[in-house]
Amino acid sequence: MSSPLFLKIILYYLTIMVLAFLINITIKMLFPIMKMGLKSTLSIFKKEKTIYVKIVSKRAYTFNDENKDSIQNYYLTFEDKDKKVYEFLVDQYYYIFYMEEEKGLLTYKGEHFIEFVRKNKNGH
């Protein structure tokens, strides 16, 4: 086997390996982004739902944006009568105003929180 032919074969397989690696990395990076976009798009077509729930926990998450500004996200976690758990990003108002163990009506659409209204089971 001549040396130039051997070199061409090595370069051919090396090129295939590099391309396979790049395609693999691209898919691994793009798939989560595409999944989030699809989930968000599909939630537009979901119906708005209102259910009776209890607030089981609250949490705040702080991070810095690209300008090094501190940003805080607020989350409320709800539980329905069947023990199904829902967690939503909420405004600071809901985070401060409502406490754990409070019960009421949660309105949401897909992955998006709409409102929580404090109520007793009998409607008061």
b/e code 56-65 from CB counts within 10 Å (16+ = b): eebeeeeeee
pLDDT one-digit tens code per residue, 30-41: 777 777 776 666
Query: Which of the four CATH numbers 3.40.50.2300, 1.10.2020.10, 2.40.50.660, 2.40.110.10 does domain 48-118 have?
Result: 2.40.50.660
Whether the pLDDT of residue 124 is over 60: the answer is no
Domain boundaries, the chain: 1-45, 48-118
Quick one: pLDDT at residue 54?
96
- Compute the distance between CA of residue 53 and CA of residue 88 in angstroms, rounded to an integer: 13
pLDDT one-digit tens code per residue, 48-82: 999 999 999 999 988 887 777 888 999 999 999 99
